[in-house]
């Protein structure tokens, strides 16, 4: 009779995948929890590489874990909302735009309070890691408005050489939104450091008056209206659009 480390049921899956999805962490983090003895299967300490089935009872810190489906939400974040769970000084968070049934999802990266546009939320830690870790070079696209026209020399510096910031050089790809308009730019970058675009222009004497993200990797904001979201894994014809009045 097989033990709990070698189930033969057709629904068997790797324990670290189950734990990662249930907790919203990466598989590497799930493996760390297993190694630390924080996960049990049927009352016994879990083992790395273990496989489990739907009949197994899996606990983390003695709390039962339940199976989850991969979820991914595309949210059009308005200006004035924080990408966090806790409000600061009465400022609303993006979770006020979502039904409580989606409050377990975690944002993939961030947009600051004064920025708007595409935010991804998921319960898949591996996906979040692949979208945000610099080694994967996920391109992000923004519409940026400056308080004054960008000088040609500064544009060349940003595009070709980068601007030195306290946490390292920042190199962005710039393109005018409209011919002859040096206030409004399309900015592309594969990094994701804190307020990087704003700090890059500030280092050259400019203030970003508007920052709006339209694309993140293969995901685009499309026609999602401000304050609304879509479940991305549905086909375009099946997608449902939701809005929570605030």
Q: What is the pLDDT along the chain (246 residues), one digit of tens a residue?
A: 444 444 444 468 899 988 988 888 888 999 999 999 999 999 999 999 999 988 899 999 999 988 778 889 999 999 999 999 888 888 999 999 999 989 989 999 999 999 999 999 998 888 888 899 888 889 999 999 999 999 999 999 999 999 999 999 999 999 999 999 999 999 999 987 889 999 999 999 999 999 999 999 999 999 999 999 998 853 333 333 334 433
Q: Which two tokens stand for residue 203?
A: 């280092």
CB atoms within 10 A of CB 236: 7
What are the residue numbers of the active site?
112
The contacts of residue 210 (CB under 8 Å, 6+ apart) are 143, 144, 145
Q: Supply the pTM of this predicted model.
A: 0.74
3-state SS, residue 220: strand
Pairwise CA distance, residues 174 & 152, whole Å: 11
Show the DSSP H helices in 24-135 as ranges.
27-35, 125-132
Pairwise CA distance, residues 105 & 23, whole Å: 10
Query: Which CA distances in Å does 103 have to 13, 29, 122, 129, 208?
Result: 26, 21, 10, 19, 31
CATH of region 72-231, choose from 3.40.50.10420, 3.40.50.2300, 3.30.2350.10, 1.10.3720.10? 3.30.2350.10
Pairwise CA distance, residues 9 & 56, whole Å: 11
Nearest to 172 by CA among 146, 97, 49: 146
Contact 212, 115 (CB under 8 A): yes
* Secondary structure of 15-50 in HEC code, one letter for each residue: HHHHHHHHHCCCHHHHHHHHHCCCEEECCEECCCCC
Nearest to 125 by CA among 101, 108, 110: 108
CATH class of 13-64: alpha beta
The contacts of residue 179 (CB under 8 Å, 6+ apart) are none
Question: DSSP class of residue 155?
Answer: H
Name the residue ranges covered by the structural domains of the chain: 13-64, 72-231
């Amino acid at each position: 009779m097989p033990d709990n480390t070698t189930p033969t049921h057709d629904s068997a899956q790797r324990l670290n995948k189950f734990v990662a999805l249930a907790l919203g962490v990466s598989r590497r983090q799930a493996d760390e929890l297993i190694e630390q003895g924080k996960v049990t299967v049927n009352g016994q300490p879990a083992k790395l590489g273990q496989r489990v089935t739907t009949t197994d009872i899996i606990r983390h810190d003695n709390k039962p874990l339940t199976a989850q489906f991969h979820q991914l939400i595309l949210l059009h974040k308005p200006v004035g909302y924080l990408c966090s769970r806790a409000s600061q000084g009465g400022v609303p968070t993006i979770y006020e735009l979502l039904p409580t049934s989606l409050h377990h999802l975690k944002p993939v990266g961030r947009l600051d309070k004064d920025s708007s546009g595409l935010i991804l939320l998921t319960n898949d830690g591996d996906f979040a890691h692949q979208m945000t870790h610099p080694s994967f070079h996920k391109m992000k696209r923004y519409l940026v408005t400056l308080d004054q026209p960008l000088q040609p020399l500064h544009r060349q510096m940003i595009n070709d050489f980068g601007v030195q910031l306290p946490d390292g050089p920042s190199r962005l790809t710039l393109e005018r939104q409209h011919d002859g308009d040096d206030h409004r730019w399309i900015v592309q970058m594969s990094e994701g450091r804190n307020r990087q675009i704003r700090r890059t222009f500030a280092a050259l004497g400019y203030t970003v008056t508007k920052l709006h993200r339209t694309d993140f990797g293969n995901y685009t904001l499309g026609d999602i209206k401000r304050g609304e979201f879509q479940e991305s894994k549905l086909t375009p014809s099946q997608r449902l659009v939701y809005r929570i009045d605030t």
